[in-house]
Structure 1
Amino acid sequence: MSDLRLIFGRPKIREKEAFLAALREAAAATGSVIQAMDASYLVGERHAASAAKRALRAFAEERNVAKDLGLEILRYAAGQRQIERALSMGVSQATRRVALLIVEEETPPEISDLIEVDGEGARFCEAAVREAFDIGEAEVEAVGEERIPDLVLERIALMDAYR
């Protein structure tokens, strides 16, 4: 499997389309895949790694939905079968902090020109995650708030079960 890196920070380019274009250019320069996500929806490194692993497996088994590995990763990270719905977890004009999941095939791209790395790791927004992954109050009461990341990982795993 390819090497995975997860980097958190604030975009240096505020305009969404220009930021995404710069990421595509950086990825193309090295043959890497760089998938940007709104960091408020990412519950941790396990979340990103699980999405990447499942997307890579889907491509290897030729059962991917998206034609682009980055979009397939985003689809798994969002726990959505439909690409259009998965895009809600991507970068928007309102995104203040991004998570970049980099699937490295060669030397990693230099991204310090694109984001101000903060090194703070995952700090998800509980309300946003609960809404995005349809996690209800009863579930949280049953397992506890500290298990929200496990509920997200469960939803990602169930995507393959409900093909």
Structure 2
Amino acid sequence: MHMDNLKIYGFRANIDSVGDVLSQINEIKKDEEIIQLMDADAIASKNHVVHGVNHAVAAFDRGENIAKDLGVEVLLRCSAQRQISKAFKILGLSEGDMNLCAVLINCDDDYVEELESLFTRDDDVLDGDEDKLKEIYAITDIEAENMSVENIIIDRISKLIVDY
């Protein structure tokens, strides 16, 4: 599986219906393209997302992917989870006001305009709140003494590969 380009954007959204949003996203993209939306509150940084995406693509290349869909595999890897239901609990969309991280793989540049017509662009939502992240990922204060929260999450993503 090749990844020609990866773009990561932050948005603020007010979601009336998760189903409607997903339908709108599916209408935008073509077959080989991936637009994966995630809860930005569970994202530590762009680096966290890049790491998750790289591991998802590598898993497909090795035939070790957990999900059939690369977008869902990205969600799994970014959440450092093996279970799709847990990944969706951490990074999935919910109704109401939320911060979004949009991951675009192999997409044209004009897609960001399409997304901006649905949501309000704000890359600041990709700067993680350490206290929120510690709660979401069950990171202890002892763990966080030696390593940044971002690095702990990245480390957990890396370990997902080893634990098969």
TM-score under structure 1 length normalisation: 0.88
- Percent of counterpart pairs with the same letter? 25
RMSD, aligned α-carbons? 1.9
Structure 2 runs not aligned, ≥5 long: none
Compared CA separation, residues 95 and 125, structure 1 to 2 (3 A) = farther
What pairs up with 1:10-159 in 2 under 5 angstroms? 10-11=12-13, 13-28=15-30, 31-88=32-89, 89-94=91-96, 96-106=98-108, 109=111, 110-120=114-124, 122-143=126-147, 147-159=148-160
In 2, are the aligned partners of 1:44 and 1:121 still within 8 Å (CA)? no
Partner of 1:3: 5
Deviations 1:37-57 (A, max 9, x none): 111111111111111111111
Task: Give the superposition deviation at 1:105.
Answer: 4.9
Compared CA separation, residues 57 and 108, structure 1 to 2 (3 A) = farther
SS at match of 1:112: helix
Compared CA separation, residues 9 and 98, structure 1 to 2 (3 A) = same
Task: Give the superposition deviation at 1:108.
Answer: 5.0
Task: Give the superposition deviation at 1:87.
Answer: 0.4
- Paired with 2:142 and 2:123, the residues of 1 have a C-alpha distance of 34
- Paired with 1:159 and 1:113, the residues of 2 have a C-alpha distance of 36
In 1, are the aligned partners of 2:15 and 2:96 still within 8 Å (CA)? no
Deviations 1:105-150 (A, max 9, x none): 555523222221123252223233112322101112334xxx1101
Task: Give the superposition deviation at 1:95.
Answer: 5.0
Structure 1 runs not aligned, ≥5 long: none
Task: Give the superposition deviation at 1:24.
Answer: 1.8
In 2, are the aligned partners of 1:133 and 1:155 still within 8 Å (CA)? no
Compared CA separation, residues 22 and 43, structure 1 to 2 (3 A) = same
